[in-house]
Amino acid sequence: MKLKNLFNLLKVLPLFLLIISCGGPNESDDPIIIPVAKVQATFNMSISPSDPNVMLFDNKTVGKGEFMSEWDFGQGNGFVEDLPGIEEIRFDTDGTFTVTLKVTNEAGFTEDSKTVVVNNGTGGICPNGNCTSNSSSALKDATTTFFVGNITRASRINAGGKHTEVLKSDFSSITSEYEMKMNVMYPSQGNYDFSAADVIVNFGFDNAINVHGHALIWHNATPDWVKDFAGSDSEFEAMVKDYITTTVTRYKGKIGSWDVVNEAIEDGSGNPLRNSIFKQKMGDDYIKKCFQWARDADPNVLLFYNDYNMASSPGKRAAMFKIVDSLGDLIDGVGTQMHINYNFPSKSNIQAVADGTVSRGLKLHFAELDVRANPDNDQTSLTAERADEQKAKFKEVVQIYNSIPLDNKYALTVWGLKDNETWLIDFWGHIDWPLMYDDNFNKKKAYDGFLEGLQ
C-alpha cells in the first residue's frame, strides 16, 4: 500500500473505531460515558489605574463541572490557589515576569501564560510590555536657554542607529567622551591624530549641534611620551604650546568651547595643585599659560576650567575659585562635572557652585551629570522608590541650573545616554542605573525629572 493511502487510512481510523463502539452490539446496557474534556485556562490582566506597580488579574476560565484554578505570579512563590474575584499583585522590581494560570479537572490541566514587564525608570509596569516614558517632548525643544548635552564617541557616530537618532532628537550639544584628549589626539611627539575628533566635530557641525571640546590638558589623559618627556622644561613648554595652538586652531569656528584644563586640583585637605607633569615642567602658572595659548589660537571659543566634587567639597570648591580668579579674563566659564548620587551632595552645596560662578560673571557648565542610584551597592535593580528619588535629584539639578541668569548659562551635559554605557559600572565595579535612558534607550523617570526641572 502506498504510503499516501496508508496515511489517509490512519486519518479516518479513529472515527471508524468510534462508530463501531457506538453502532455495534452493546454487550451491556450501561450508558456510554463520554470522557470529560479538559477546561481551557484563560485570564485577562490590566495595570491598576491607581498604582503603576500593581497588575490586576481576572480569571476568565469557563468550563463544565468541577475544576480548580491556581496562579503562579512569576515571583518565585510557585502556584497559589485562585481567590474569588480579581487578583491584585504588586511588581516592584525591574524585570520580566511570566504569570501562569493553571486549571485542573478530572481530565487533566491546561495553562494560560502572559508576560509582565517592569521598568521603574519609565514608570513601573510597562503597558503591553512597552516601556517608554510618558514624555513626548524632546529635551532640546524644552531647553531653550542653554545647551542640553550628552557624550559621544566616533565609533558610535559611525555606527549611527539609536545613538545618533537620540543625540539628534534630544540634545543640542555633544562632548567627546575620550577622543578629544591629548592621549588620543597627540599619541606621539610630532604626530597628531585628529581622525576621531574630526568625526565628532563634523557630526556636530553637520547637525547644528554644539561641540564642547574636552579636554586639552588632563593628567589622566596624558600620553606616556609626554609624561616621560626627555627634553628641557622650555622644550616641554614649547611642545604644549604647539599642541594647544594646533588643536584649538584646527577646530576654530567649529566648536563652541574647550575645557582647557581638567582636574588640576588635588583631593583632600589643602587642595594644592596636583603635581602633574605640566606643573613639574612649567611651574604653578601652567594653567594660565595654557589658557593664554588657547585664547591666542581662537579669541571666540569659550574657555572653561573643569573639575569634580565642586559641590561635595567646599575646600576643593574654594581652591577652584582661587584658580579661576587668577585667570582674569582668560577664562569664560567653570565646568563642574556633577558626578553625583541620588541623595548627595545637598541642594545647597550644588547651589554654592552656581552662586560662586555667577557672582564672578562666568558661564556655568554642569559638564558630566550622572546620578548614581546604587552608590552603596545594595540594589540589584532600579526599584520604583529609587527611580523616584533619582528623578527628584535630576529635577533639583536642572532647577538650580535653569535658575541662574541667562548670561551665565551655557550647557548642562549628561555623561552618557543609556544606563549600561555609563563609566560608573567599570569604575565602581557594580551595577548602577545613573542616566536618563534604560538599556534599550527607553526614557526613564529621570528624563521626566529633567523636563520637570525646566518648568
Sign of the dihedral defined by the CA atoms of residues 322, 323, 328, 331, in that order: negative
The single residue among 122, 271, 337, 413 that binds ligand G3I, judged by CB under 6 A, is 337
Closer residue to ligand G3I in complex, CB, 123/434: 434
70 catalytically annotated:
no
Q: What's the closest the beta carbon of residue 46 comes to ligand G3I, in angstroms? A: 42
How many degrees, rounded to 5, is the angle at CA 149 between CA 145 and CA 154? Answer: 145
Which parts of 176-235 interact with ligand G3I (CB under 6 A)? Answer: 177-178, 181, 221
Closer residue to ligand G3I in complex, CB, 219/241: 219
Closer residue to ligand G3I in complex, CB, 133/309: 309
CB atoms within 10 A of CB 86: 13
* Spatial separation of the C-alpha atoms in residues 448 and 133, rounded to whole Å: 7
Instruction: Encode burial over 285-318: b for 16+ CB neighbours within 10 A, e otherwise.
Output: ebbbbbbbbbbebbeebbbbbbbbbbbbbeebbe
Closer residue to ligand G3I in complex, CB, 132/336: 336
Task: Report if residue 423 touches ligand G3I, rule: CB under 6 A.
Answer: yes
263 catalytically annotated:
yes
Q: Which of 368, 396, 421, 452 is labelled catalytic?
A: 368
Q: Which of 87, 179, 263, 396 is labelled catalytic?
A: 263
Q: What's the closest the beta carbon of residue 263 comes to ligand G3I, in angstroms? A: 7
Pairing of strands 210-218, 173-176: parallel
* Spatial separation of the C-alpha atoms in residues 175 and 162, rounded to whole Å: 17
Q: Nearest CA to 40 among 54, 24, 60?
A: 60
Please work out the total of residues on this chain that contact ligand G3I, with binding judged by CB under 6 A.
Answer: 9
Task: Collapse the DSSP code of 439 into the 3-class scheme (helix H, G, I; strand E, B; otherwise coil) and give the result.
Answer: coil
Q: Which residues contact 140 (CB under 8 A, 6 or more apart)?
A: 148, 169, 170, 171, 172
Tell me the per-residue interface mask from 358 to 397 with ligand G3I, x by CB under 6 A, - otherwise: ----------x-----------------------------
Q: What's the closest the beta carbon of residue 67 comes to ligand G3I, in angstroms? A: 57
Q: Does the bond joining 31 to the residue before it have cis omega, within 30 degrees of 0?
A: no
Closer residue to ligand G3I in complex, CB, 150/262: 262
- Active-site annotation, residues: 263, 368
Binding site for ligand G3I (CB under 6 A): 177-178, 181, 221, 262, 308, 337, 368, 423
